[in-house]
Amino acid sequence: MSEFVRRLATSSLTARVALGIALLLIIGGVFVSIAAFAYGREAARSAYDRLLLGAANDIASAVTVLDGRPTIELPVSAFELLALAPDDRIGYRIIGPEGATLTGYDEISLPDSRQSLSEGFFDGTFFDEPARYAVVSRRFAERTLNGTVRVIVGQTLNAREDMAYDITRKALYVLAATGLAMALLAAVVVRSVLRPLENIAGGLSARDPHDLTPLDTEVPKETEVMISALNGFMARLDRQMNSMRHLISDTAHQLRTPVAALRAQADLFSDEMDISRKERIVERIQTRSASLGRLLDQMLSQALVIHRGDSARRERVDLRDIVLDVFEEGDHAVLKPEMEVLIDIGESPVEVMADVPSLTEALKNLLSNALKYGRSPVRIGASLDGEKVAIWVEDSGPGPEDEVLTALGARFNQAKLSRQSSAGLGLAIAHSVAVSFGGRLLLEKKDGKRFRAALVFAAALEKKT
């Protein structure tokens, strides 16, 4: 059975539809046949029962009383009525008031349970053949005769069965015609349903391997799901490829200058004879390599953020946790021990659907920018403002020049990473994270005394309990 189910799952859609239609027709056919036969039997039964009753009444009305005895001249019309079932034998019996047979077949008897039946029908046999009988009674209240004469008229069942089979047969003809029409329609429908799929497959296989542009969405609704999923997948792939490309070119570009400088210093070092100058050069090499290390860290975290932005699963994150994590890691104490860092978080959770590592990276970068370029004290925090939540870093300096800020905004609006300074790279990472989770990076000056960099998101919906 499981083998069958497995094979069914991989069989063609046409085969499935054919199987479905076949099952429908077989089950329907059986039901219709049974129903038609039952209906046919019932129709034949009621039609021929009426004949029987008519004949019985005809005979009963021909009974007369002569010399105190019931007597009869059987009406030929009654038998002609019965002869409408041309191949059926006829049985009849007329029972007098004392229960004696006046005429007809003695063999015909009322069923044991209905000996007193005076009006109605019963099933029996006639010379070993199944037969149907009608009984009617006629009451006599004459001076010479008082009692009931019962007339039993019966007939074998050939005509009834012929009629029932005839009705069934006709119903089956209709069913067969319907089935054929259904099969043809199904074939047409299956072909037309599968055509879009074939078109899609054809379009995909004819594509250039590097072509990741969206597929044509002029397709039936049902396949649109598949197409949009496919397009979404391709867009992600495209974005990731672009990011990688940019990352690689940015990295190459940004590394070239510090590495060239390091080499130049190293060359200077080997040419320098003076010990004190040599020490200064070593100092410079150390500074340079430390900043190169930071640059590399940032690049890696940018790569991480770009990667996670597209691939990581969103979860409910409390921004206060991020703030606490970054603060407790204590990088700032190592980098700039002279700067004071304060935490500013509230009582209530500040939740957003996002990815913890991405947010942590973004906050770290903003914090390190603030430490590098801003003034003490630096405050980090998370806040909830109606529908909006924000995680931010604020220093007590005036912030960058206005034109620099505008230029930064313009660059982010082009949504592309380009050659940038270390500070720019940090902002770029923060911007990427903001965009990945449907938010934005907000840079604002406050009263010329403070500068705040914030990631603003839509608040996560209240958790349903």
Cβ proximity to other proteins: between 128 and 403 the closer is: 128
Tally the C-alpha atoms within 13 A of residue 351's C-alpha that lie toward its C-beta: 10
Q: Which is nearer to other proteins, 103 or 223 (CB)?
A: 103
The residue from 18, 47, 53, 74 that contacts other proteins (CB under 8 A) is: 74
271 binds other proteins (CB under 8 A): no
Q: Does 129 bind other proteins (CB under 8 A)?
A: yes
CA 96 – CA 64 distance, rounded (Å)? 12
Give residue for tokens 């500070």. Answer: 423
Binds other proteins by CB under 8 A, chosen from 25, 32, 60, 72: 72
Write down the least CB distance from residue 151 to other proteins, Å: 12
Candidate list 54, 104, 349, 400; residue touching other proteins; CB under 8 A: 104
- 37, 39, 79, 122: residue in contact with other proteins (rule CB under 8 A): 79
Cβ–Cβ under 8 Å, residues 227 and 219: yes
Q: Which of 426, 432, 418, 419 is nearest to 400 (CA)?
A: 426
- Binding piece for other proteins, criterion CB under 8 A, among 101-109, 223-231, 382-390, 419-427: 101-109
How far is residue 269 from each of residues 67, 85, 291, measured CA to CA in Å? 159, 128, 19
19-38: which residues touch other proteins (CB under 8 A)?
A: none
Distance CA 306, CA 239 (A): 9
Do residues 161 and 44 make contact, with C-beta atoms less than 8 angstroms apart? yes
Candidate list 30, 119, 127, 446; residue touching other proteins; CB under 8 A:
127
Instruction: Return the number of the residue (31 or 127) whose C-beta is nearest other proteins.
Output: 127
Cβ closer to other proteins: 78 or 428?
Answer: 78
* Stretch of 68-76, 180-188, 225-233, 283-291 contacting other proteins, by CB under 8 A: 68-76
Cβ-based nearer residue to other proteins, 134 or 429? 134
In whole angstroms, the minimum distance from the beta carbon of 79 to other proteins comes to 4
Q: Give every CB contact of residue 180 below 8 A, 6+ residues apart in sequence.
A: none
Give the one residue of 71, 144, 192, 291 binding other proteins; rule: CB under 8 A: 71
Strand partners, 344: 381
Query: Which residue, chain included where needed, has tokens 């930064």?
Result: 408
Q: Could you give the count of Cα atoms lying within 13 Å of 22 in the half-sphere of its Cβ?
A: 6
Work out how close the CB of 181 gets to other proteins at its nearest, in angstroms, rounded to a whole number: 37
Closest by CA to 175, choosing from 320, 27, 25, is 25
- Judged by beta carbon, residue 80 or residue 267, the one nearer other proteins is 80
User: Is there binding between residue 89 and other proteins (CB under 8 A)?
Assistant: yes
Please state the closest distance from residue 103 (CB atom) to other proteins, in A.
4
Report the phi/psi class of residue 150: left, alpha or beta, with left for phi > 0 and alpha for psi in -120 to 50: beta
CB of 150 to other proteins, least distance (A): 15
Q: Is 86 in the site for other proteins (CB under 8 A)?
A: yes
Count CB-CB contacts under 10 A for residue 261. Answer: 15
Is 453 a binder of other proteins (CB under 8 A)?
Answer: no
Q: Are 440 and 331 contacting, i.e. CB atoms less than 8 angstroms apart? A: no
Query: How far apart are CB 65 and other proteins at their closest, in Å?
Result: 12
Does residue 453 contact residue 392 with C-beta atoms inside 8 Å? Answer: yes
Nearest approach in angstroms of CB 183 to other proteins is 38
Total chain residues near other proteins (CB under 8 A): 24
Closest to other proteins by CB, 52 vs 459, is: 52
What residues are paired with 123 via a beta bridge?
132
Stretch that binds other proteins, among 123-131, 305-313, 339-347, 355-363 (CB under 8 A): 123-131
Of 36, 52, 60, 102, the one binding other proteins by CB under 8 A: 102
For other proteins, the closer CB: 161 or 321: 161
By CB under 8 A, tell whether 90 contacts other proteins: yes
Residue 153 and residue 91 in contact, taking contact as beta carbons nearer than 8 Å: yes
Comparing CB distances to other proteins, the nearer of 80 and 279 is: 80
Which CB sits closer to other proteins, 125 or 242? 125
Residues binding other proteins (CB under 8 A): 71-76, 79-80, 82-83, 86-91, 94, 102-104, 126-129
